[in-house]
Amino acid sequence: MSPINQVIINKETKNKPIWIMRQAGRYLPEFREIRKQNTDFIKLCLNPNLASEITLQPLKRFELDAAIIFSDILMLPYGLKQKIEFKKNFGPILGDINLNEISKLDEIDFVERIYPVYKAISLVRNNPITKNKSTIGFVGAPWTLLVYMINKQSPKIKLKDDFFKDDFLINRILLILEKFLKIHIKNQIDNGAEIIQIFDSWAGLLDEKHLPNYVYIPTLSLVEYVKSLNIPVICFPRGIKNYNEYCNLVKPDVICIDYEVDPLKISKNIKIPVQGGMDPKILLTEKENLKKEAKRYLDIFKDHPYIFNLGHGILPETDPNMMDYLVKTVKDY
C-alpha cells in the first residue's frame, strides 16, 4: 500500500507523506516550455501524452508520494459543451449556458469529449515512476463548478448580488452536475485513480445559511458515491469557518485544510486524517523560515494521521529549489 493510503486507511501516524496542490504547473521551467508550444490550455489537457508527461514532471524532480493528474476542474463544464478559454494573466472565461443543450447531453457525448483525460490517467498509473505512489484523480465540487458556470469567470472575492436570481437554472445545473460528476469520477477510477480529491475552492463565499443546500448536501452525495466504489475521498472546502460541522455532515475520509485555519485547533477537534495547511507564500521566503513553518505543521500533527500539503496551490513564482527543500524537510522529519 502506498504511504498516503496507509495514512488514510490504516490511520498510520509514523510517516508524513507529501504531495503538493498544483505540483505540476507554472513554477516548473519544463512545464512552461511545453506550455509555450501549447497555447490552448484545454487542448493540452486533452493530449494524453503531454498531460501524463506534465503530471510526472514533479515526480522526476522531487520525492513526492502522489501524482495528481494534470487536468482542470473546468474540464467538466467543457464536457457539458459550455464554451471555455483560459486567458493569459486573467484565468478562465466561460460562455453562456445553454440549458436545453446541456439537458439533452448524454453520458456517451460527455465521455467522448473528455476521454483523453482518462487515457492520461491510465498512462500515469501504468508508468513505473508511480509505483508505490498514489495516483490522485479530482473533481470540482458542485458549488464551485456552479460558481464558474454562472459567473463565467473567477468570482475573486465576492458573488454578484444577482447570482441566485434564477432559482430554476441553479437547481437544474446542480442536478446535472451531480450526474456528470459521478460519471467523471467513475471513469477516473476505472482508469487508475486511487484517491479522489474534491476541490471546493469557493465554499468560503457562501453565508452559513446557504452551506447545507449548496455545499453539504451535493458534496455528501459525491462522497458517498466515491466511498461506494471503495476509493478514499479527500475534501478541500477552502475558506469555510466550521471544519467540524463540515466533517460531521459531509464525512470525507480526509479533510484538506486551507492556510487561514488554525492547525492547532484542527488537530484537537478533528478526528479524521488531515491534509495540507501551510501557506504557499512561505515558499517565497527564506529556507530557514520554510523549515520552521513546515516543522510547525509536522509537530502539531505528530500524533495525527497527516498528509503534508499546502493550504492552496503552489504559486507560479515559487523557486523549484524551495520546493525541493520543502520535500526534503518533510522526508527528513
Distances 303 to 14, 28, 212, 298 between C-alpha atoms, Å: 8, 33, 32, 9
Q: Closest approach of Cβ 168 to ligand CP3, in Å?
A: 26
Nearer to ligand CP3, 252 or 313 (CB): 313
Nearer to ligand CP3, 21 or 97 (CB): 21
Q: Closest approach of Cβ 58 to ligand CP3, in Å?
A: 8
Q: Closest approach of Cβ 302 to ligand CP3, in Å?
A: 27
Which residues of the chain form contacts with ligand CP3 (CB under 6 A)?
A: 21-26, 35, 41, 68, 70-74, 86, 91-92, 138, 154, 199, 201, 313
Element (H, E) at 192: none
Find out whether 73 and 139 touch, Cβ atoms under 8 Å: yes
Nearer to ligand CP3, 72 or 293 (CB): 72
Q: Closest approach of Cβ 222 to ligand CP3, in Å?
A: 15
Nearer to ligand CP3, 73 or 196 (CB): 73
Distances 40 to 28, 75, 84, 161 between C-alpha atoms, Å: 18, 13, 11, 32
Residue least distant from ligand CP3 (Cβ): 201
Find out whether 191 and 115 touch, Cβ atoms under 8 Å: no
Q: Closest approach of Cβ 93 to ligand CP3, in Å?
A: 10
Nearer to ligand CP3, 187 or 267 (CB): 187
Element (H, E) at 124: helix 107-126
